[in-house]
Amino acid sequence: MSRTDKLTRKVSQRARDLVDRGLDRHIRLAVTGLSGAGKTALLTGMLEQLLYANDNPTLPYLNVHSQQRLHGVRLVPSPNWSVARFDYEAAINALTSEPSNWPQSTRDVAEIRVEINYKPSRGLASKLSDSRRLTLDLVDYPGEWLLDLPMLDQDYNDWSQQQSRLARQPLRSDIFADWHQRVENSIRNNDDIDKTLRRLANDYQQQLQRCKNEFGLYFLQPGRHLLPGELAGAPALDFFPWPSHLTMPESWRPVLESKYRYYQDKVIKPFYKEYFQNYNRQVVLVDVLSALQAGENALAELKLALNELMKSFDYGHNSLLKRLVAPQIDKVALVAAKADHVAPPQHANMRQLLAQLMQQSSQQLSFERIQYQLFATAGVAVSQSGERPDGTLVLDGYDDTGERVRIKAPQVPATWPSSQQWQQGFAYPRFHPHFSSGQSPLPHIRLDQLLEFLLGDKLR
Ligand SMILES: Nc1nc2c(ncn2[C@@H]2O[C@H](COP(=O)(O)OP(=O)(O)OP(=O)(O)O)[C@@H](O)[C@H]2O)c(=O)[nH]1
Ligand SMILES: [Mg+2]
C-alpha cells in the first residue's frame, strides 16, 4: 500500500470514529487499576468472553447475547498507529500453555480495538437495519504510571507536603528513616548539586521499591521511579519529594522544582492526554484481598490512592457535542478483583468493603449523577468453589507446582477490620492457572454482568 493510500485509510478511519462517536457507537473504556490489580487479566478475560460469545453458556446476563442478537465480535486494527497492540494472543498463550502462567506484568502502553456486530432491538434502527456495529477501545498500561496523574494538580511544594505527611505514618517513617538521614547529611556536605540530587533520587527510588515489594504499600509516586520505561537513567527522574521537616538549601530549590515541572509536562501530561482523555466508560479495578493481606497501612494507602486518583478523571454526561469534542465518563464500574480467591457468599463482603474504601469518590459520582455500580469479578477464574459434606466451603485449584489443592475458603470483612482482626491478619490463596491449549473461553466470574453494565445500553 502506498503512503498516500495509508494516509487516506487512516484519515477515513478517524472520520468514521468521529461519526461513530457522534452516533454513540464508540466506547473507550478506561480500566483504572494500580499495579497488580489485575488489569491485564481482566482485559484478557473480557476479550475472551466477547470473542467467544457465540455458544458461550457463561454469559447469561449479557443481554445482546442471551437475546440472540449478537452477530459476531472481532478484533480490528486500532487507528492509533504509534501504540503497540495489546497482545491478547500472548496473554492467552501464557494462560493455556504447558505449564500455564499468568500474563507478564505490563511494561508499556498497548491498545486493542474490538468491533461488536449486533442486531438492534429498539427504535427506528431495529426497523431499518438488521445489523449495527459498536466499536470498543481498550488500553492496557503499567499500573505504576497511573498514580502519577494526581501529581498534575499539585506543584512541587504541595506534592512534597503530601508525601511528607505520608512519610510520618508508622510504617513509612521506619522505611524512610535512613533516607531522611542521608538527605540531612547531604545538605551539610557541599558536594556538586546534580550529583547529590541524583544519588538521593536513586536512594529514594530504592525506598519506593521496598514500599512496594516488601510492604505491599500503594501510594507510590513518582511512578517512573518504580518503572522508568524509556526514562531509565534519565536526569528527568533525579527528583524526590522534599521532607518538610528539613530546610532545603536555596540552591537546590530551582533544580528540584524544574525537574518536577519537567516530569509533569513531558511525562505525565502526554500519558494523560494520550490515554486518559476521551474515555466515556470506566472500570475502577481494585485488589482488596491483597491489601487486606498486606495489613492496615496498605489498606489505608490503597484507600487514599484510589480517592486521589478518581479526582483525575472527567465525569459528566455526554451531549452530542461532548461526544464529539471531549467525551466525559458517564458510567463507572467499581470492581473488586480476583473474586475466585474466596467463595461466592463472600463476594457481597468484597463489594461492601470496596464501597467503604471508595466512599469519598462515590459521593462525588452521585453528586455528578454518574451511574456507578459495584461488582466482584474474576477476569480469569482459576479456582472452583465447593462444599464439604459438613457444609464447610472450600476452593479447589492448582498451586504453582501444578499440584491440585483444596483449601478452606477464607473470609472477607465487609467493613474496615477491627484491631483484633488486623492482629489475626488475613491470608488469601494464590492459585495458579492450569488450562489446556485451545480451552476457550476461559472461566470467569461475573464478566457478563460487568459487560452488560458497561456496554449493554449501547447494544440495544
Ligand atoms: N485468582 C486470580 N488471580 C488474578 C486474577 N487477575 C489477576 N490475578 C493475579 O494478579 C496478578 C496481577 O495481575 P495483572 O493482570 O498482571 O495485573 P495488572 O493490573 O495488569 O498489573 P500491572 O501490569 O503490573 O500494572 C496476576 O499475575 C495473578 O497472579 C483473577 O481474576 N483471579
Ligand atoms: Mg498489566
Domains delineated in the chain: 3-147+276-381+436-459 (3.40.50.300), 150-272 (no CATH)
Q: What spacing in Å lies between the alpha carbon of 35 and ligand 2's midpoint?
A: 7
Query: What integer pLDDT is reported at residue 43 of this predicted model?
Result: 98
Residues 6+ apart with CB under 8 A from 416: 299, 353, 356
Nearest CA to ligand 1 atom 5: 338
Per residue in 116-163, pLDDT (tens digit) is 999 998 766 666 778 999 999 999 999 999 999 999 999 999 999 999
Determine the average pLDDT of the residues in 437-450: 95
Q: Note the maximum CA span of the chain.
A: 79
pLDDT tens for each residue of 165-207: 999 998 999 999 999 999 999 999 878 999 999 999 999 999 9
Q: How far apart, in whole angstroms, are the C-alpha atoms of residue 33 and residue 94?
A: 21
Q: Which atom of ligand 1 is nearest to the CA of 378?
A: 31
Q: Pocket of ligand 1, candidates 35, 101, 105: which has the most ligand atoms within 8 Å of its Cβ, to mutate?
A: 105
- The pLDDT of residue 10: 65
Q: How far is the CA of 417 from the centre of ligand 1 (A)?
A: 24
Most ligand 1 atoms within 8 A of CB, residue of 31, 40, 48, 286 to mutate = 40
Q: What residue owns the CA closest to ligand 1's atom 1? A: 338
Crossing angle of helices 347-357 and 359-367, rounded to 10° = 70
pLDDT of residue 357: 98
Compute the distance from residue 179 Cα to the ligand 1 centre, in Å: 31
CA 187 to ligand 1 centroid distance, Å: 42
Q: What is the arithmetic mean of pLDDT over 8-19?
A: 69
Reply yes or no on whether the pLDDT at 314 is more than 80. Answer: yes
Task: Supply the residue whose CA is at minimum distance from atom 14 of ligand 1.
Answer: 38
Residue 321 confidence (pLDDT): 73
| pLDDT the model gives residue 21 | 65
Provide mean pLDDT across the span 69-75.
96
* Residue partners of 164: CB distance under 8 A and separation at least 6: 241, 242, 243, 244, 245
Judge whether residue 232 has pLDDT over 80. yes
* CA–centroid distance, residue 36 to ligand 1 (Å): 5
Out of 9-18, 207-216, 222-231, 392-401, pick the least confident.
9-18
Q: Which residue in 350, 269, 265, 358 sits closest to 309, CA to CA?
A: 358
- Relative orientation angle of helices 296-310 and 347-357, to the nearest 10 degrees: 60
- The position carrying cell 457463561 is 58
Torsion angle of the four alpha carbons 446, 451, 457, 460, in this order, in degrees rounded to the nearest 10: -90
3-class DSSP string for 313-367: CCECCCCHHHHHHCCCECEEEEEECCHHHCCHHHHHHHHHHHHHHCHHHHHHHHH
Residue 115's nearest CA partner among 38, 189, 177, 53 is 53
Query: What is the tens place of the pLDDT at every residue in 16-33?
Result: 776 676 667 999 999 999
**349 vs 413: CA distance, rounded Å:** 6
pLDDT for the residue 79 = 87
Strands 393-398 and 404-408: antiparallel
Q: Which ligand has the nearest atom to the CA of 34?
A: 1
Per-residue CA distances from 95 to 91, 347, 371, 442 (Å) = 6, 24, 34, 9
- pLDDT number for residue 327: 79
**pLDDT value at position 222?**
98
Mean pLDDT of the chain: 93
The ligand 1 site (C-beta within 6 Å) comprises 33, 35-41, 102-103, 105-106, 142-143, 337-338, 340-341, 378-380, 382, 431
Lowest mean pLDDT among 53-57, 145-149, 385-389: 53-57
Query: What distance lies between CA 371 and its chain's CA centroid?
Result: 19
